[in-house]
Amino acid sequence: ATQDIWYDDYHAFDNFRDKYWADHQRAPYVTPPTRAAWNFGKTISRPDRDDAARKVQVFRSWFYDRFFQDSQPLFIMPIENTGPRYRDDPPE
């Protein structure tokens, strides 16, 4: 259900890409992660984007109704396994 983000990210730069092409007759340089994101974003249709946005809204409503009944909810979210990180040891 993240297609809406990828679609919006790609199309937010439509005018930039069009103007750059008109001025330079080539596509602008973008970093590899941006290029990958744009390549994915341009494959998503508007109906798929709208469906994904609807699903996110359904989840958002459910999440709020389920977990925000208290005025000050507390969330504990494990992001990763933690442990000592010694400065001089190379990462694994």
pLDDT bucket at 71, cuts 50 / 70 / 90: confident
Residue 91 has pLDDT above 70, yes or no: no
**Predicted pLDDT at 73:** 80
Q: What is the mean pLDDT of residues 58-79?
A: 84
Alpha-carbon Rg for the chain in angstroms: 20
CA angle 63, 66, 72 (to 5 degrees): 95
**pLDDT tens, 30-61?**
999 999 999 999 999 999 999 999 999 999 99
> Token digits for 62?
């459910």
pLDDT digits (tens, 9 = 90+) for 12-24: 999 999 999 999 9
